Structure 1
Amino acid sequence: MLYAPLDPALDEAPYELQKHLGFQLTHWDTDYARLELPIAPHLMNRAGIPHGGIYATLLDTVMGFAGCYTGTPEHKKLALTLSLTTNFLSRPKGKGLIAEGHRTGGGQRTFFAEGTISDETGEIIARGSGAFRYRNTTL
């Protein structure tokens, strides 16, 4: 399925962790989000491949965004992660990571999501699932 690029009106200023890691929200729509991250030296583990924590962080973030889309910058939703499962499948062959998240269900207070990390060659690197709770605070 093809998704439209991120509406510039919904683009938020990067927060500190996002700035440090270097990922960017590139698509965001109802029940869907996509992040992209160039592979860089500060992301690597001792074996010279991206640290597993990078994959877990990307999955956590992209699935959270997938469940928090409102379509308007005046009404933001935020979520807290209740559980996160990450399965490591391969290592990247390309130069960038692509994380995609889909909200799969839920209700008024909680939602469930699944995510995948691949690279630009199509290599599937990690998959994840999570449960999230909407925060009472709306920005």
Structure 2
Amino acid sequence: MEWAEIMERSNNSFWGHLGGRVLSVEKNKVEAALTIEPRHLNSMGIVHGGVLSSLMDQVMGFAVIAAKDGRQGVTTHLNVNFLAPMGLGELFVTAYPVHETYRTLTLHAEIRDKDEVLGCMATATFRLPSEKKR
């Protein structure tokens, strides 16, 4: 699957609802951003944990696609650590693979604000579908 098709599908799904933007794609790293608006906040006035978790999960999913030359995977495990409250403005996400087996890929992601404050980090394992024999 080509990146243009992946982005079109993604922008018409939950990723588009969040408002995320992919900034760069390399084989071993994907960077993205999200402009935090009031709709992304919880009742305490900080970014909702579900927004942060979803953001990292999606960018790690993009990193799977980049690392596996277009193959997609599904999240089987997601571990999130919230480290500092995040507020309105730009957030930046970086995701990269850390371990691979035949059918799984484990990744790491971090979210930082414009001042480089580390707000949260996550690891996730994605299961890859078996490759069809030709």
Q: Same fold (TM over 0.5)?
A: yes
1:34 aligns with 2:31: yes
- SS state of the match for residue 69, structure 1? helix
1:19 aligns with 2:16: yes
Greater shift, 92-101 or 58-67, is seen at 92-101
Change (3 A) 1:20 1:94: closer
- How far apart are residue 20 of structure 1 and its match? 1.3
1:80 aligns with 2:74: yes
8 A Cα contact 2:47 2:87, kept in partner: no
Specify which of 129, 132, 138 is matched with residue 126 of structure 2: 132
Following superposition, which runs of at least 4 residues in structure 1 exceed 4 angstroms of deviation? none
Per the normalisation by structure 2, the TM-score is 0.85
- How far apart are residue 70 of structure 1 and its match? 5.8
Query: Gapped runs of 5+ residues in structure 1?
Result: 1-8
- How far apart are residue 61 of structure 1 and its match? 1.1
What do you get for the CA RMSD once the two structures are aligned?
2.1
Change (3 A) 1:25 1:135: farther
For these two proteins, the number of residue pairs brought into alignment is 127
Per the normalisation by structure 1, the TM-score is 0.82
